Amino acid sequence: MNKLTDVASPLPLPAGVQSRYVSLSTGLQMHLLEAGQVAPGGTRKPLLLLLHGFPELAYSWRHQLTALAQAGFHVVAPDQRGYGRSTGSDDRYEGDWRASNMPNLVSDVLALLHALGYTKVHAVIGHDFGSPVAAWCALMHPDVFQSVVMMSAPFGGPPDAATATQAQAALSHEVQALQQLVPARQHYQWYYSSAQANDDMWHAPQGLHDFLRAYYHVKSADWSANQPMPLKAWQAVVLAALPHYYVMPYPSTMADAVAPFMPTASQIQACTWLTDSDLAVYVAEYARRGFQGGLQWYRCSTDRDEYLALSRFSGQRIIVPSAYIAGAADWGIYQSPGAFERMQNVCTQLRICQILPGAGHWVQQEQAEAVNQLLLEFVGTA
């Protein structure tokens, strides 16, 4: 049962970071974290927007908010549609899940910009599923989003209109073919699109705390078996090289898939990038809300009609200055074969393309200082 009516505890925020709500024209009451709002004399500072992914929150940017604000920016990290403390979205599986399609997520960002009183964004910065949202913002509205940073998920561009129908059919065919492998596998995005995924994770057999601890651990550089490499094609036999948190055993749940990789007590103690108190924030937020709000995004991303609709942007590229940052132990770089390579062409001004050692998927948390240095370098010149 959704517990959004429960009173949420104050967040443990760094000094100088504030939490507040804004009403958006898209119907959301959006919760955001922000720092560096007003310059001396009351003048506006250039705006940076930080967009989280799954299963994350605005809190995932806790290490960036202050550092970027100290460099003279107004920095805003929202809980995006379906996440955290933002309300107004339809989080029911049987509800209006198409409201979470990519054009609508971009509209949310534009509405947030308007609510904050800005007409331009100096840089929109996204991680994981927030990365394509940031990329589509820059592609669709280069007059508004003056630069873009993508983290973990590379942006391979819009579907090609001439081949979109065949490409989508081939993609779906290979996903179905995973179940014919020995042993059988399933792709996590299609699992996340299923009716049972929310309950599987929200009420995981090992408990929500241990599920999230194992999930964050196994996708990080702390799990030494993460040795990503480029994949040749979107084919079932090739995708099977991906670890179980991407291409899961069938018919396992995600909770089952990550349970064997629960870190030891000593590993947890050594995990300075996600302390017990940090993890407690995620556990409390997802315990209140569940995961379905974020899973709606995956339903849109795996839907044939939504995929084909994006082909109307076929051939368009990101023309504003761009950057890409990922961890060297992050399979997210290669989970969509060819996207990393296509990004080099789609982004006409790719000024930084940096793969950071000592980080996996949660790069802005695992290597916060290195990410902050790259962001400051980029936004200072973009």
Q: Provide DSSP, 348-380.
A: EEEEEEEEETT--S-HHHHTHHHHHHHHHHHHH
Residue type, 167: A
Query: Tell me, what's the pLDDT at 7?
Result: 58
Contact status, residue 221 vs residue 329, Cβ threshold 8 Å: yes
> Rounded CA gap, 197 and 191, in Å?
7
What token pair was written down for 104?
A: 């609508």
CA nearest to 376, candidates 37, 43, 69:
69
Return d(Cα 96, Cα 9) in angstroms, integer: 29
The reported pLDDT for the residue numbered 141 is: 98
Radius of gyration, CA atoms only, the chain = 20
**C-beta separation of 217 from 226 below 8 A:** no
Instruction: Look at residue 8 in the predicted model and tell me its pLDDT.
Output: 76
Q: Where are the domains of the chain?
A: 18-159+314-381, 164-301
What angle, rounded to 10 degrees, do the helices at 292-301 and 102-115 form? 130
Answer yes or no: are the C-beta atoms of 375 and 68 closer than 8 Å: yes
- Looking at domain 18-159+314-381, which CATH architecture does it have? 3-Layer(aba) Sandwich (3.40)
Q: What is the pLDDT of residue 381?
A: 83
The pLDDT value recorded for residue 6 is: 55
How confident is the model at residue 1, as a pLDDT?
Answer: 41
The Cα–Cα gap between 53 and 11 comes to: 19
User: Are 59 and 70 contacting, i.e. CB atoms less than 8 angstroms apart?
Assistant: no
Query: Are 352 and 44 spatial neighbours (Cβ–Cβ below 8 Å)?
Result: no
Per-residue pLDDT 10s for the chain (382 aa) are 445 545 578 999 999 999 999 999 999 999 999 999 877 777 889 999 999 999 999 999 999 999 999 999 999 999 999 999 999 999 999 999 999 999 999 999 999 999 999 999 999 999 999 999 999 999 999 999 999 999 999 999 999 999 999 999 999 999 999 999 999 999 999 999 999 999 999 999 999 999 999 999 999 999 999 999 999 999 999 999 999 999 999 999 999 999 999 999 999 999 999 999 999 999 999 999 999 999 999 999 999 999 999 999 999 999 999 999 999 999 999 999 999 999 999 999 999 999 999 999 999 999 999 999 999 999 998 7
Q: What is the pLDDT of residue 310?
A: 97
What pLDDT is recorded for position 5? 47
pLDDT confidence of residue 4: 53
- pLDDT the model gives residue 84: 98
Compute the distance between CA of residue 175 and CA of residue 236 in angstroms, rounded to an integer: 7
Q: How far is CA 275 from CA 83, 91, 114, 335, 375, in A?
A: 21, 29, 35, 28, 24
